[in-house]
Amino acid sequence: MSYLERVRRPADLRRLRGPELEVLAKEIREFLVTSVSRTGGHLGPNLGVVELTIALHRVFESPADHIVFDTGHQAYVHKLLTGRQDFSALRRRGGMSGYPSRAESDHDVVENSHASTALSWADGIARANKLRGLDRSVVAVVGDGALTGGMAWEAINNIADGQDRSLVIVVNDNGRSYAPTIGGLARHLDALRTLRSYEKVLDWGKRTLQRSGPPGRLAFEALHGMKKGIKDVVAPQGLFEDLGIKYVGPVDGHDLESLETALARAKGFGGPVIVHAITEKGRGYTPAEEDIVDRFHSVGAIHPETGLPVAPSRFGWTAVFAEEIVEIGRRRSDVVAMTAAMLAPVGLAPFAEEFPDRVVDVGIAEQHAATSAAGMAFAGLHPVVALYATFLNRAFDQVLMDVALHRAGVTFVLDRAGLTGEDGPSHNGMWDLALLRTVPGLRLAAPRDEQTLRSELNEAVAVEDAPTVLRYPKGALPDSLPALSRQGSVDVLARHGGIPRVLVVGVGVMAHTAVEVGDALDAQGIGSTVVDPRWVLPVSSDLVDLAGQHDLVVTVEDGLAANGVGSALRDALAQRKDVPDVPVRAHGIPHAFLDHASRNELVEGFALRGQDIARETASDVSALEESTTRQRTAERP
């Protein structure tokens, strides 16, 4: 039996000794590479925290002591050490979540996988422990990347005010989030990493003192003064300790003995302590160690020997945006690009390569990005802010009050909109349509294929007096879906039957599903018109006019059905007194947090396939016919 197989709970770790722990760390890395290469998942972050997680569980007594992982994608090792060693269905329906999950274990505290929140969680738990008289420790494991988020600094400001609360902040410093960590704090930490050698200089001074008497003593005193000067300039302990937070480190994050010593000191202090651990993302796996673009942060199925994908990725939505924004940048020198620590994942790396002075990576600070973009627009630029759709939630107030209120010409490009599936409830980009619908003046486009993405992006950056949004899903591009014609601002994709009775409205990529609905209705003898509004918010008068020409409207979207595009169209119809009162059936995502599963599984489960919607629509048409017949019968003299 391997050491890993013997560890079923954290207490089992405390029976192991130095060499045994080193073997355990090796076994964990081998397990991670083998398992994640089959299922996909966050490989690099977990390879980097093996020793750190072992040390945490040897020093602290989870679940009595609470360990909060910021973001949570580095919690695979934590899962292994708390009795969860079946990774066969990782991130798949019915299998283990890729993030901490309370449903899986009482060792898991925070399920949300948005960054920079762990310190606030830890502060709240520590305050509650104090008020309830509980002698427990709280540990927040936060990456240096997450410390670029403003919420983390709001928490630190409050944590510093609680000197009587046992709270340990472990800074897992690998110099990266999705990409190299940027900003002033990153430079601060980097300086400390590179200046650890000054301790060696001091050791030399001590040896000189012992060997040469007074001259050596003078040399040592001079060196000691140099050390103090260096630390005053670059070392972060000055920053944190001035706030009243004890600083320990930097510690080698792969040296178990050093880590345990530092964590034990922090635990015994009784107040807020920062333990600064230097780790290497992807440690122990040669393809990840040699990778310079961080391909192994999150992977699909890969060949474990080489790290290469089992199935090469098809040309996707992000790649189209990456190409088109470069073309726009060549034509317009006022266009600048912004992102929040995700330059490559959102497709801005080619733009940064060609226009390095016109790219801003603000770190994990979406709120700052939105308001800074408003400032850029005021000063004559047109910012394009590229984010994952789920992360725009964090900047909603800034979009509303700083961008829209000031009629700023800012374009937000939302990658991974709609159902993303395997990463679970916090990463599905399903909230944007319902949220942004409430923003006055905002215009939102949802492309259905490569060509509409390119054209709508160009239309978006041409708007200078209001925020614009472009949203598209994760993954490979669908087949091209050309329009039969354009009616005003609306693309007509298909017409069926002599007298179309149903208007089928497809939002973005769901236009392909809408076409399937029209085909299925045609097979049942029900006429329809299938359209793509292109710009879905606000609802255009052209779409309302079209709706009024049909007996039933069916909308299909990969956002919330409640308060989404279908709901907006229903409201727009109600406000138009010159258009018949046409019923609207909105098909979309239910108003709930979704368990992790593949996109196809979610689509099927929510009855969002073309055949499902067509079946329900046919039933609605029959009900309308019966209602009309009854009404006519009642009206006969």
Q: Confirm whether residue 146 is marked as ligand binding.
A: yes
Q: Where in the chain is the domain with CATH 3.40.50.920?
A: 485-634
CA distances (Å), 88 to each of 107, 142, 450, 471, 601, in order? 21, 27, 35, 33, 18
Q: Where in the chain is the domain with CATH 3.40.50.970?
A: 3-195+235-290, 317-471
Q: Is 26 a catalytic residue?
A: no
The catalytic position among 267, 394, 437, 474 is 394
Q: Confirm whether residue 46 is marked as ligand binding.
A: no
pLDDT category at 414 given cuts 50, 70, 90 is very high
CATH superfamily of 3-195+235-290: Thiamin diphosphate (ThDP)-binding fold, Pyr/PP domains (3.40.50.970)
First to last CA, the chain: 88
Minimal CA–CA distance to 566: which of 510, 485, 491, 629?
510
Strands ordered across the beta sheet of 535-537: 359-361, 335-339, 382-388, 411-415, 468-471, 443-445, 535-537
**pLDDT value at residue 396:** 95
What mean pLDDT comes out for the span 525-549? 96
Residue 228 has pLDDT above 50, yes or no: no
What mean pLDDT comes out for the span 288-312? 73
**pLDDT value at residue 311:** 67
Q: Confirm whether residue 65 is marked as ligand binding.
A: no
Q: Confirm whether residue 285 is marked as ligand binding.
A: yes
Q: Confirm whether residue 178 is marked as ligand binding.
A: no
Q: Confirm whether residue 518 is marked as ligand binding.
A: no
Q: Is 281 a catalytic residue?
A: yes
What mean pLDDT comes out for the span 294-316? 74
Mean pLDDT of the residues in the chain: 86
3-class secondary structure, 76 = helix
Residue 368 has pLDDT above 70, yes or no: yes
Ranking 117-121, 289-293, 500-504 by mean pLDDT, the lowest is 289-293
At 39-56, the pLDDT tens digits run: 888 888 888 899 999 999
The catalytic position among 366, 450, 516, 557 is 366
Residue 509 has pLDDT above 50, yes or no: yes
What mean pLDDT comes out for the span 570-577? 93
Q: Confirm whether residue 48 is marked as ligand binding.
A: no
Higher pLDDT, 206 or 62: 62
pTM of the model: 0.85
Residue 203 has pLDDT above 60, yes or no: no
What mean pLDDT comes out for the span 417-430? 85
Residue 282 has pLDDT above 70, yes or no: yes
pLDDT category at 435 given cuts 50, 70, 90 is very high
At 327-344, the pLDDT tens digits run: 999 999 999 999 998 898
The top-scoring range by mean pLDDT among 282-296, 317-331, 414-428 is: 317-331
Residue 353 has pLDDT above 90, yes or no: yes
Q: Which CATH architecture has domain 485-634?
A: 3-Layer(aba) Sandwich (3.40)
Residue 613 has pLDDT above 90, yes or no: yes
**pLDDT value at residue 196:** 46
The catalytic position among 58, 92, 267, 281 is 281
Count CB atoms within 10 A of the CB of residue 510: 28
pLDDT category at 609 given cuts 50, 70, 90 is very high
Residue 286 has pLDDT above 80, yes or no: no
Q: Give the HSE-up count for residue 501: Cα atoms under 13 Å, Cβ half-sphere.
A: 14
Distance in angstroms (rounded) separating the CA atoms of residues 28 and 285: 12
What mean pLDDT comes out for the span 435-446? 97
What are the start-end ranges of the H helices in 387-523?
Answer: 389-392, 396-398, 432-436, 450-461, 511-523
Phi, psi at 374, each rounded to 5° = -60, -40
Q: Confirm whether residue 113 is marked as ligand binding.
A: yes
Whether CATH 3.80.10.10 fits 317-471: no
| 472 within 8 A of 386, measured Cβ to Cβ | no
At 133-190, the pLDDT tens digits run: 998 999 999 987 788 888 888 888 888 877 778 899 998 887 654 445 555 555 555 5
Distance in angstroms (rounded) separating the CA atoms of residues 7 and 14: 10
User: CA dihedral in degrees (502, 507, 508, 511; nearest 10)?
Assistant: -20
